Structure 1
Amino acid sequence: MELWLTARLPEAQKRRIDDWLSQHPQQAAYWQALQQDQRLLAQLDPVHDERNLDDYALASRHTQPARPWRRWPALPTLAAFALGSLCSALLIPLWTTVPTEPANRPAFVQSALQAHALYSVEVRHPVEVGEQEQAHLLKWLSKRLDRPLAAPDLSGLGFQLLGGRLLPAPDGPAAQLMYQDTGGERITLYIAAAADSQPSSFLFSEHRGVSTFYWVDGHWGYSLSGRIDQARLSQLSSQVYQALVL
């Protein structure tokens, strides 16, 4: 039963996704709902076909896919918006939960997990520079990492920026941005060079109760960590990915 919606994957990867979905009926239901929407949209526009599925695969900033609605001149605006919103909310988060972590996780991931465990429990000094000085914080971290940095807006998913700090990492300095929700739960975004790691889509890891979704893009490693459930962390990670990479 093919519930996956990412087109033209290798057969082994397709089977792995199908096997995983067969063991997670709730996530499989989401995929089925997405398939139903695809069929409904296809009825609205005869030009619509499976090619649009490729446009939502995770891609590096160097291979950003074309916007699918530019291929659909006859597709009503509302339908195009519905598909884009649904794929953003469902396709990326659900794809990332497939457990495909390599045997040896990159060094920056372990550093990110340790940094989260150390600083997320701090009461008085969880960050080095607070969100009140966000412009200064991002300028400082950008200069130290020698690359432009931004703080993704996660307020729509219930998390507000607390601030951040500079940290050491295996391949140079790292930046940690911390967010907190109204219940006091904290997540941290860790960004560091990952010179020896290959580009990847989202992978999931867990260490001593701290979960993280991580990926590598352009020799930079990104990791979002927290003590929250995997589905919620996946949704937050997709939001971060879209803000920083797409």
Structure 2
Amino acid sequence: MTMRPITEDDLHGYVDGALDPERREQVSAYLEAHPDVAARVAAYGAERGMLRAALAPIVEEPLPAELDLARMVEARRRPPGPPRWAMAAAALLLVCVGGAGGWLLRGMGSAPAEGLQALGREAAASYAVFAPDKGRPVEIRAEDRAQLVAWTSRRLGRPVAIPDLADAGYRFMGGRVVATEHGPAALFMYDDDAGSRLVMLARPLASDPKAPMTPHARDGVNGFSWSDNGLGYSLVGQAAPETLHPLAHEARRQIHRQA
């Protein structure tokens, strides 16, 4: 029997735990064979967890007595008619629920956010997936640098430069192409003598073709993002911002020189 193709609905169902056991096993096997898609699914899961954590305090708050829907319904049934305060409370509840729902779901039916903020989020997600990998953190190793440059440049549709951070104590390990919300991106990885790793993510950035260097932090991963000539870069790692900042400036200087 031919297995039906894995769709976006299957991937989101996998993250939400909504698949039946057989389909979940099929999706799991598919992700093992497609690490770029697995990275995207891991990012979905991380965002879902953060959203649940952010909303948990609100969910646990007790409902104010004046907004208790059961009391409102009972008041409406009481002759000769509902008091004005109950009608006002019901209207307030509808406004609050509608407003809160619209705020919480904002952007879910529209295109994903773009710009440096999205690039930094994607870089942090890629770091979380590939940096801890001791077996195969990169697909093409440093000794095949020319092959990696050709591959990533072809996938991104423009020349891609790989900075050399060896003078700062970070050796180039290699890289790969990963999937993001906005298309393919080039991932380059570095490490130092202590085993600390850095990831630089690069992809076209149409919304911010030339943006200044901007710091960001997400789930213990610090980073600096910028863009030049329509190509965005984000250097991320668990190093302190004061360590990453000069490295990002050096990477940007070398990319300018190689352009």
Q: Same fold (TM over 0.5)?
A: yes
2:181 counterpart letter in structure 1: P
8 Å contact 2:189–2:200 — kept in the other structure?
Answer: yes
Aligned to 1:128: 139
Q: CA deviation at 1:170?
A: 2.6
1:221 to 226, 229, 232: 232
Aligned to 2:245: 234
Aligned to 2:119: 108
Question: Equivalent residue of 2:252, what SS?
Answer: helix
1:135 counterpart letter in structure 2: A
Aligned to 1:155: 166
Distance in 2 between residues matched to 1:200 and 1:148, nearest whole Å: 19
Distance in 2 between residues matched to 1:198 and 1:218, nearest whole Å: 6
TM-score, normalised via structure 1 length: 0.56
Higher relative contact order (CA 8 A, sep 6+): 1
Change in Cα spacing, 1:223 to 1:138, as seen in structure 2 (3 Å) is: same
1:181 to 163, 170, 192: 192
TM-score, normalised via structure 2 length: 0.53
Distance in 2 between residues matched to 1:139 and 1:109, nearest whole Å: 24
Aligned to 2:75: none
Which runs of 4 or more aligned residues in structure 1 lie more than 4 Å from their structure 2 counterparts after TM superposition?
A: none
Give the count of matched residue pairs: 143
2:189 counterpart letter in structure 1: M
8 Å contact 1:159–1:179 — kept in the other structure?
Answer: yes
Measured on the aligned residues, the alpha-carbon RMSD in Å equals 1.4
Aligned to 2:206: 195
Structure with larger Rg:
2
Gaps of 5+ in 2: 1-114
Distance in 2 between residues matched to 1:224 and 1:105, nearest whole Å: 12
Distance in 1 between residues matched to 2:133 and 2:208, nearest whole Å: 31
Question: Structure 1 vs Structure 2: percent identity of aligned residues?
Answer: 31
1:114 counterpart letter in structure 2: A
Distance in 1 between residues matched to 2:178 and 2:127, nearest whole Å: 11
Q: Deviations over 1:178-204 (max 9, x none)?
A: 000011000011001111225221110
1:117 to 128, 132, 137: 128
Distance in 2 between residues matched to 1:105 and 1:218, nearest whole Å: 14
Q: Deviations over 1:99-129 (max 9, x none)?
A: xxxxx85322211110011110000010011
Aligned to 1:164: 175
1:240 counterpart letter in structure 2: A
Matches within 5 A, 1:47-86: none
Aligned to 1:244: 255
Distance in 1 between residues matched to 2:117 and 2:208, nearest whole Å: 7
Q: Does residue 204 of structure 1 match 2:218?
A: no
8 Å contact 1:171–1:195 — kept in the other structure?
Answer: no
Gaps of 5+ in 1: 1-103
8 Å contact 1:169–1:192 — kept in the other structure?
Answer: no
8 Å contact 2:116–2:225 — kept in the other structure?
Answer: no
Q: Deviations over 1:28-69 (max 9, x none)?
A: xxxxxxxxxxxxxxxxxxxxxxxxxxxxxxxxxxxxxxxxxx
Distance in 1 between residues matched to 2:229 and 2:181, nearest whole Å: 17
Aligned to 2:153: 142
8 Å contact 2:116–2:208 — kept in the other structure?
Answer: no
8 Å contact 1:203–1:213 — kept in the other structure?
Answer: yes
